[in-house]
Amino acid sequence: MATSEFWQRAASPAHSSQEWNESRTRSRQRTARGSSLLWMIMDALTVVGSATLGTIIELHTTAIAGIHGFWRGTLIHGATMSELSLILVGFTATLIMISRRLHLYEPLRLTSHLHEQRLSAQACLVSGLLLTGTLYLIHAEAVPRSIVIFSILMIMVTLGLRRALFRTLMYRKFTQGMNTRNVIIVGTGAEAHALRHHLQSIRQLGYVFKGFVDLPGTDGKVVDSTGEVLGNIDSLFDHARKHFVDEIFFTAPTERGVVKDVMERARDHGIDFRVVPDLYDGLAWNSEIEYIGQFPTIPLHRGHVPEMALVFKRLIDIVVSILAMVILSPVLLAIALAVRLDSPGPILYSSERIGKKARVFKCIKFRTMVRDADRRRAEILHMNERQGILFKMSNDPRITQIGRILRKYSLDELPQFFNVLRGDMSIVGPRPPIASEVKQYELSHLRRLDVTPGITGLWQVQARQDPSFDSYISLDVAYIENWSVWLDIKIILRTIGVVFAGTGS
């Protein structure tokens, strides 16, 4: 890779380099805090659970008796509850600090499975050695060393199993096209093509290559024979919008100002931004190198992701869906029977919908129309009562008798709780559109596909009867830009009132 003004930033004025590095550090720290905190909490819970289980097994007692003895200070003769609590808290804090030092809270996609397991075992053993040394120094003879050693081994095994399980689930979602990261590579030279091959060959990284962007005037250009060059640098963020890009890799050598401009625009669009340093000179910089597989990169910007809030949102989705299906199971059976008796055809209707990042999935609901409804849609398009792309008419002749009742109270959408459990949908979010609608979207409309679609949303509870497509889009965008767990809860509560009011159609 040719040397350029950007790659020689060490020669730039001191205040400019310092400002650049401080901006990059703040961006990395904001993202790292949420992810690290989540993993720390999971590690702490794993330690407490494993230590409790190990102690119960070693003392040959029951869970209830063990908890009772711990609470009353009689679990281990001579060791009070406060002493045992301090030991457990101290070990947990030590383990978390060592794990953080070993970069175990970095994104899993950036490390291999065996490397992660080795570091996890190392963190447990070092923490265990510090614990046993501390117990020796404070003369805590009351705590049996057999319990300490067995608990440490239990913690090491359970931490490894939990991380292995999480990684297995992550890889499975990658193969299903979920939770992957879409990538555009700036540059068309040998380094760009090598990076593309690297990302595609190591599937567990979870990266999906979307195309190259050409940077005119750069050297080392490789002729593209596959049609993967999307355009030039001027149209970079238009293509990033079209392909729901999460991360931009910059491989082309160019002036420092060009890279800074792209980084600032990436920050405005909430897109992660990395540069690939020179494989020789770059390693000599006093900059943090982060490896994507075996490929060295320097992350300059990471978009803020509220991981804790998103985990809580997913937990709400799972809990609410399970409770809804259990509580409403008699209603589901009654509706299924009514649909079957009302008209010939299947009970459930499945249609392809466009989800997060334009991922196609099967959305299910109770059938509310006649069997050949899709074929007859073209016959009644001229009777559309909505504006723009959306299609809706109040007296659709294809709707069955029971279907009108189901639509009025939104009961036809109850099977979508299964979509929520699978992760295709959420309880709250923009409604999933059909492919024919998305094909008519303008570039700005694609914003509503940045998040997981939902059964209900801001538009459904606030302007469901509004025929305006612009209102439909603006409310979805407002939900995305102002999202919080509390907003989801408020929408769910308002949805209950909307359902009982029978304002569906």
Lowest mean pLDDT among 172-176, 179-183, 265-269, 289-293: 289-293
Per-residue pLDDT averaged across 447-451, rounded?
90
Query: Quick one: pLDDT band at residue 320, thresholds 50, 70, 90?
Result: very high
CA torsion sign, 374 to 376 to 379 to 380?
A: negative
Lowest mean pLDDT among 198-202, 294-298, 413-417: 294-298
Q: Which two tokens stand for residue 301?
A: 């910007």
Say if CB 195 and CB 209 are below 8 A apart: no
Spatial CA neighbour of 488 closest among 480, 497, 500, 499: 480
**How far is the C-alpha of 291 from the C-alpha of 252, rounded, in Å?**
18
Q: Per-residue pLDDT for 431 more than 60?
A: yes
**How far is the C-alpha of 268 from the C-alpha of 262, rounded, in Å?**
10
Q: Per-residue pLDDT for 1 more than 60?
A: no
Q: Per-residue pLDDT for 11 more than 60?
A: no
Q: Per-residue pLDDT for 381 more than 70?
A: no
Comparing 351 with 10, which gets the higher pLDDT? 351
Candidate ranges 227-236, 292-301, 450-459; pick with highest mean pLDDT: 450-459
Spatial CA neighbour of 210 closest among 226, 191, 189, 223: 226
**How far is the C-alpha of 48 from the C-alpha of 54, rounded, in Å?**
10
Helix (H, G, I), strand (E, B) or coil at 397: coil
Lowest mean pLDDT among 13-17, 217-221, 238-242: 13-17
Q: Which residues on adjacent β-strands are paired with residue 272? A: 247
Query: Quick one: pLDDT band at residue 444, thresholds 50, 70, 90?
Result: confident
Q: Which residues on adjacent β-strands are paired with residue 248? A: 184, 273
Spatial CA neighbour of 463 closest among 413, 505, 403: 505
Say if CB 164 and CB 190 are below 8 A apart: no
Residue boundaries of the structural domains of the chain? 30-175, 180-305, 308-501
Residue 379, CA distances (Å) to 160, 210, 351 in order: 59, 38, 19
Each as own residue / partner, the long-range contacts of residues 178-182 (CB below 8 Å, 24 or more positions apart, any chain) are: 178/359, 178/423, 179/206, 180/206, 180/207, 180/208, 181/109, 181/206, 181/207, 181/208, 181/246, 181/247, 182/207, 182/208, 182/210, 182/243, 182/244, 182/245, 182/246, 182/247, 182/357
Q: How high is the pLDDT of residue 20? A: 41
Q: pLDDT digit string (tens) for 143-195?
A: 777 888 888 899 999 999 999 998 888 888 888 888 889 999 998 888 888 88
pTM above 0.85, yes or no: no
**How far is the C-alpha of 452 from the C-alpha of 263, rounded, in Å?**
26
> Does the domain spanning 180-305 belong to CATH 3.30.1360.200?
no
- Percentage of the chain lying above the pLDDT 90 cut: 28
Q: pLDDT digit string (tens) for 16-39?
A: 444 444 444 444 444 445 567 778
Q: Per-residue pLDDT for 240 more than 70?
A: yes
In angstroms, the first-to-last Cα distance of the chain is: 60
Say if CB 247 and CB 273 are below 8 A apart: yes
Q: pLDDT digit string (tens) for 123-132?
A: 999 999 998 8
**Identity of the residue numbered 319:** V
Residue 286, CA distances (Å) to 17, 57, 69 in order: 11, 50, 54
* Main-chain dihedrals φ then ψ at residue 372, nearest 5 degrees: -100, 35
Spatial CA neighbour of 424 closest among 117, 177, 157, 61: 177
Query: Quick one: pLDDT band at residue 141, thresholds 50, 70, 90?
Result: confident
Say if CB 351 and CB 366 are below 8 A apart: no
Helix (H, G, I), strand (E, B) or coil at 441: coil
Per-residue pLDDT averaged across 353-380, rounded?
84
* Per-residue H/E/C for 371-395: CCHHHHHHHHHHHCCCCCCCCCCCC
**How far is the C-alpha of 9 from the C-alpha of 17, rounded, in Å?**
7
User: Which strands make up the sheet holding 290-292, listed edge to edge?
Assistant: 229-232, 207-214, 181-186, 247-250, 272-275, 295-301, 290-292
Q: Give alpha helix (H) positions in 188-328.
A: 190-201, 236-242, 256-269, 307-327
> H or E segment at 212?
strand 207-214
Q: How high is the pLDDT of residue 286? A: 54
Q: How high is the pLDDT of residue 364? A: 94
Per-residue pLDDT averaged across 197-226, rounded?
77
Q: How high is the pLDDT of residue 218? A: 61
Q: Which residues on adjacent β-strands are paired with residue 179? A: none
CA torsion sign, 317 to 318 to 323 to 329?
A: positive
Q: pLDDT digit string (tens) for 81-102?
A: 777 788 889 899 999 999 988 8
Q: Per-residue pLDDT for 284 more than 50?
A: no
Per-residue pLDDT averaged across 441-466, rounded?
85
**Tokens 């308002």 — which residue?**
494
**Tokens 């075992």 — which residue?**
121
Strands 247-250 and 272-275: parallel
Q: How high is the pLDDT of residue 49? A: 86
Q: pLDDT digit string (tens) for 384-399?
A: 656 667 666 677 778 8
Q: How high is the pLDDT of residue 280? A: 38
